[in-house]
Structure 1
Amino acid sequence: MGNHSTWSHTEGQTKARHAEALQPPSMYNVVLNNDNYTPMEFVIDVLQKFFSYDIERATQLMLTVHYQGKAICGVYSAEVAETKADQVNRYAKDNEHPLLCTLEKA
Structure 2
Amino acid sequence: MTVLVICTAKASSNQNDSIGTDNFSHTKVAAKIKTPRLYRVLLINDDYTPMDFVVHILQRFFHKDNESAKCIMLKVHYNGSADCGFYTYEIAEMKVNQVMNYARNHQHPLQCVMEKE
Instruction: Map residues 36-55 of structure 1 onto 2, 5 A cutoff.
Output: 36-55=47-66
C-alpha distance after superposition, 1:25-76 (max 9, x if no partner): 1100010000011000000000000011111110000000000000000000
The CA RMSD measured in Å over matched residues stands at 1.4
Shift of 1:23: 1.2
**RCO comparison, higher one (Cα < 8 Å, 6+):** 1
Structure with greater helix percent: 1
Structure 1 runs not aligned, ≥5 long: 1-13
- Return structure 1 stretches of 4+ with deviation > 4 angstroms: none
Identity %: 48
Matched to 1:105, the amino acid is K
Q: Which residue of 1 aligns with 2:69?
A: 58
1 CA distance for matches of 2:110 and 2:58?
12
Q: How many residues align?
A: 90
- TM-score, length basis structure 2: 0.73
Structure 2 runs not aligned, ≥5 long: 1-28
Equivalent residue of 1:31, what SS?
strand
